[in-house]
Amino acid sequence: EHKPVVIVGAGVSGLALGNFLLREGIDCVVLERRDRDHVERRQRAGVIDTRATRAFRKRGLEDRVVGGAPVQAGLGFRLDGRDRWLELAVEEQLEGRFCPQQVLVRNLITVFEQDGGDLRFGAEVAVEDIDRPRVRLGDGSIIEGDFIAGCDGSHGATRAAVPEDRITHHSHEYGYAWLVVLAEVPAVRPTLLAIHQRGFAAQFGRGPTASRFYLQCPLGDTAEDWPDERIWSELETRFGEPIATRGPIVEKQPMPLRGEVLSPMSHGGLHLLGDAAHIVPPASAKGMNLALYDADALADALVHYYRKDDPSLLDAYSDTRLREVWNYQAFATWFTDTVHDAGDATYRGEFRHRVARADFERLFISGTANRLLGEFIAGLN
Ligand code: FAD
């Protein structure tokens, strides 16, 4: 007699895993502490890469959940206030999409419910046991499962339930922060990344009417340090061009850039996914995608376990995922530091600044360097 897979958290990893298992006829329940409205409005990432798109296609879900315009094979930089378009020499067709995270989440919820999935909002989970998987809900009820999938982010209950002597936290502070801004302004270009001596800045479309802006700022800055007028004028300085329309700023928050990996990602009957297991800075655009790769890998492993009575993929889940997670941490560190150091020489000095400029220019000169970046962006590395 099988018990369900208990999925804690209805973010991208939890909902993707839930849908994948539902398609495979594997019993699961998704438990989310917030209400539906909150989850459906949470605006964060904006790109589903080629590999993640294919994970949905593999299970016949692409048309139902992946929306938005196709990504371009290139990145629009502003270097010292001038346009530098970087064409990516990708060997395969890029199949990623500009799909705001909340659009993906909304679609995943709709499809899961249409297909008869068990999704409970307002269900705050406390983990009772990870070896004989058992969770308790706020109302005191207990749910037992064959497994717990920890999809509840970096402040969730599942990672916290692992005894400290069974887990290692590897973390890295980049030493600078981003002011993360959401504004009701359409993006003029799909991607705009400014490398400038005053610091990095970027604008990415989030659907047709909104944009995410990012501004590198010192650690310790607060939202009060950044009145709207200062945000707009600093963006214009770093972009080296006026912002076409200044719409209302609906959110601003400083966020120190950091990387984190928890090792291992499996503990008894608990498997960690997404931000519960690893954090990458948004500059890499890999946070949401790594969460989706995890869901894809764990779904495959569970299918193997239930269909073939073979736990080998499940046993290998942590090692397999960690190899890839470190590969993408390497990409995230390189890309993030390069676009910051190539602009701002004050933080890590003139030497690093010139090294970063060389790293940046190589992308335009060397087909090999260019292809490697393209592979990471597509998620095919
Ligand atoms: P989440 O999406 O955070 O979902 C976790 C869920 O668990 C939440 O719904 C939470 O309410 C729930 N939960 C927590 N605790 C409990 C509990 N005890 N019981 C039940 N439920 C619980 N990534 C990119 O790829 N590209 C980007 O450009 C990008 N930009 C970002 C910008 C910002 C401002 C932020 C904050 C993140 C950004 N990310 C980006 C990262 C990306 O959003 C995350 O990596 C992604 O959401 C991780 O998905 P997840 O499923 O692991 O966690």
**Adjacency order of strands within the sheet including 125-129:** 125-129, 134-137, 142-144
Residue 156 burial (CB < 10 Å; 0-12/13-18/19+)? buried
CA of residue 308 to ligand 1 center, whole Å? 32
- Residue of 36, 44, 335 best suited for mutating to test ligand 1, as the one with most atoms within 8 Å of CB: 44
pTM of the shown model: 0.96
Query: Is the Cβ atom of 289 under 6 angstroms away from ligand 1?
Result: yes
CB 302 within 8 A of CB 5: yes
- Residue of 102, 125, 288, 294 best suited for mutating to test ligand 1, as the one with most atoms within 8 Å of CB: 288
Q: What is the pLDDT of residues 335-344, one digit of tens each?
A: 999 999 999 9
SS3 (DSSP) at 360: helix
Domains and CATH numbers, the chain: 5-72+94-170+259-335 (3.50.50.60), 174-258+340-369 (3.30.9.10)
Beta bridge partners of 48: 97
Helix axes 12-23, 287-308, angle to 10 degrees: 30
Query: Is the Cβ atom of 259 under 6 angstroms away from ligand 1?
Result: no
Is residue 281 reached through a cis peptide bond, with omega within 30 degrees of 0 on the bond before it? no
Query: Is the Cβ atom of 190 under 6 angstroms away from ligand 1?
Result: no
Query: Is the Cβ atom of 54 under 6 angstroms away from ligand 1?
Result: no
Token pair 């002597």: residue: 165
CA of residue 354 to ligand 1 center, whole Å? 35
Beta bridge partners of 252: 181
Q: Rounded distance, CA 120 to CA 338, Å?
A: 43
Closest CA to 179 of 255, 284, 283: 255
pLDDT score of 91: 74
Cα angle: 256, vertex 166, 138; to 5 degrees: 75
CB 268 within 8 A of CB 158: no
pLDDT score of 16: 98
Token pair 């000169």: residue: 365
Query: Is the Cβ atom of 287 under 6 angstroms away from ligand 1?
Result: yes
Q: Rounded distance, CA 44 to CA 24, Å?
A: 29
Q: Rounded distance, CA 48 to CA 128, Å?
A: 34
Token pair 């973010």: residue: 11
Helix %, strand %, coil % of the chain (to 5) = 40, 25, 35
Q: Pull the structure tokens for residue 26.
A: 């594997």
Query: Is the Cβ atom of 12 under 6 angstroms away from ligand 1?
Result: yes
Query: Is the Cβ atom of 274 under 6 angstroms away from ligand 1?
Result: yes
Query: Is the Cβ atom of 153 under 6 angstroms away from ligand 1?
Result: yes
Given the CA of residue 285, which atom of ligand 1 is nearest to it? 26
pLDDT score of 381: 82
H or E segment to which residue 238 belongs: helix 228-239
Q: What are phi and psi of 144, to 5 degrees?
A: -100, 145
CA of residue 275 to ligand 1 center, whole Å? 6
Q: Rounded distance, CA 219 to CA 207, Å?
A: 30
Spell out, as residue ranges, where the chain has pLDDT lower than 50. none
- What does DSSP say about strands 134-137 and 249-263: parallel, antiparallel, or unpaired? unpaired
- What contacts 50, CB < 8 A, 6 or more positions away? 92, 94, 95, 96, 378, 379, 380
pLDDT score of 170: 98
